[in-house]
Structure 1
């Protein structure tokens, strides 16, 4: 690798670290043509279900940008070193790193130079060359450019596994404050285009076998949290609406990271948000997507912000202590799933196991639930009859004391999800 390419890679890989929406799932692009790579179980920056830690080449095509978004390190007024890859340089880097087993895929984003279509054309050229000329079948996540033409976005969807476009701020008002040249309407237009094209291709596939796959891993978006003063209720309501309206696979929450900023504009809330707030938002998002919780159950006018010392599932349970205890041996799956300390797999095991007899506390422990937490909210065959007389404040105090004794002070931000 030449020194010039090495320097570009250093600059543009560092600039890409602020975009957290780079996990993947749901794509099943297979290597059937004797090409290179295979999407397989997906690419992400964490561990897959089979325990593998996987990685991808995460870079910007360029950090030049015509916009001056105050929260972005690549904004045009920021005094940073600029660089740009050519189309062939990105293709060559991806293939060389893949052959050396450094990566399993590509995450490609970019600043906007000249205009949206000019930038999108070059990103499209990269993914086309990888798929058609290099016969690369690995995972590709492509960030689309706000304002790019429908034709370019549609064609890109035929080559990318996942596409995403950043919502940036949770509300239009917040976005206009820090990025007046952008709008949520542009983002919604592209998300709607990808959603409609996906449905169109799926319906055609039922009639025509040779219809190509269009964005098989779906689309996602990202919100910056803490740069503008939206509360958690506004953040989660926005996420909920975009999940429903655009069939998103994921919404990512990126805590605002202070960058060089001479305007004094950011952050508007005074200090950057704690990492634990970002963690609580992800936990709430999980409850909405997989646990059957509605957004107004988690946050509402009375409780507009998530509690930082306890997770949102436990917070909901303590606010609704009258709905407990849940009888493990008679309650339906949906109610069992709402018990703090019981996850999706454990709830399924409980429903399956109780067909063979009433479950007792020692059996629940064997099924893998967090019994020390769940015991305050359930009734099983050997539970005391007074269990339903629990006081929410007392339960909260007990669980907090257990958490503090289990974790060192510096680790309290890493409490288990549920």
Structure 2
């Protein structure tokens, strides 16, 4: 083996893979029964996070950065003058095993540029996973990036060896895809997603009757959208994400701020990358939709097409819907408690458990972990009744921003009374 050449390939293909953020490993439960190598049960060289919040490491590389397509936003587009490289299947297998034995990684995230055609590329990705599972007896986490346009047969086989599969939708709208990636067909993205969803459902049903049914993509599937390469609003992005969650049972949708890695007149003339804060607001919205019971139309609609940059989406919703507040913390139902700014799901459960034994006051809520700098404008408790003053949405927002302006101000300045107007 030419170690210098392998090192050079690793440098090129690991760097090219860094723009793909859809590599979470939460959700898999592939176990090692004592005869193999590795274990992805309860776990997930990129950092990712498991379902219980632990940080893990994945070898994150492309099989190749050669590509037959010329997508305007992609660093590996065929017209880009960059250094090209490609791993052999066995080289990826050897790298994964060697890094695992050295405790550098706990799994593999493998994507690829498309060379020759989608099926040829997908076959090679599957060969890597198959060799790891069957020849190396590797039980660690494997995430394969599905290739748009790959056949149903290959997608069915891929799920037998991978813990998670994903197809990056890339651009949130069909019109945006046509503009920036005219060689690609929107249906080519949908086809493998449908196959994976249907196979997961079929596998789930078969397991009810036959426990020995082989696992199929136990960590589900995910996708990624590039944010800011075209003119989509936050509403466009989140409506698309909601569609994928409902239609294809996605485990996760990832949002990746556009990075200007290519020069193309179709791309926005950004002097810097899309602000990370926009990404953060999209992820917060995604969280509210999946876990807090919000409907996307409550957060983003015709009158509110983009998320507020200076405040989080739950607070933004509350300020636009003050008719629902104040909420009596000792009487409100679980769903309404979860809608109070500054109250997380863990705090909701603690409140429900604690108020069985006594009425809660401000001190209790503080000890529970409620962020009173936000929540206090939206709740009442037994310490003192809410006094209706001229606390408009704008005044509440300004008070919250003022109180949150810096840690120093919070720790060393006197707190404003919730009854100040």
Unaligned runs of 5+ in 1: 409-418
Q: Partner of 2:343 in structure 1?
A: 342
Offset at residue 264 of structure 1 (A)? 2.3
Q: How does 1:15-414 map to 2 (within 5 A)?
A: 15-32=16-33, 34-43=35-44, 45-48=47-50, 52-261=54-263, 263-267=264-268, 272-387=273-388, 390-406=391-407
Conserved? CA contact 2:25–2:50, under 8 Å: no
Q: Deviations over 1:254-307 (max 9, x none)?
A: 00001131x322127887421111110000000000000100111100010001
Conserved? CA contact 1:373–1:399, under 8 Å: yes
Structure 1 residues 259, 27: CA separation in 2 closer, same or farther (over 3 Å shift)?
same
- SS of 1:37's equivalent in the other structure is coil
Structure 1 residues 302, 271: CA separation in 2 closer, same or farther (over 3 Å shift)?
farther
**Partners of 1:187 and 1:369 in 2: CA distance:** 42
**Partners of 2:62 and 2:268 in 1: CA distance:** 25
Deviates more, 1:69-78 or 1:359-368: 359-368
**Partners of 2:325 and 2:307 in 1: CA distance:** 21
Aligned-residue CA RMSD (Å): 1.6
**Partners of 2:168 and 2:53 in 1: CA distance:** 29
Offset at residue 48 of structure 1 (A)? 4.6
Q: Partner of 1:415 in structure 2?
A: none
- SS of 1:356's equivalent in the other structure is coil
Offset at residue 325 of structure 1 (A)? 0.6
- SS of 1:200's equivalent in the other structure is helix
TM-score of the two chains, using structure 1 as the length reference: 0.94
Q: Report the number of matched residues.
A: 407
Offset at residue 54 of structure 1 (A)? 1.5
Offset at residue 183 of structure 1 (A)? 2.6
Q: Partner of 1:4 in structure 2?
A: 5
Q: Deviations over 1:202-232 (max 9, x none)?
A: 1111111210111000100000000000000
- SS of 1:54's equivalent in the other structure is strand
**Partners of 1:224 and 1:49 in 2: CA distance:** 24
**Partners of 2:307 and 2:260 in 1: CA distance:** 22
Q: Partner of 2:417 in structure 1?
A: none
Unaligned runs of 5+ in 2: 410-421
Structure 1 residues 101, 322: CA separation in 2 closer, same or farther (over 3 Å shift)?
same
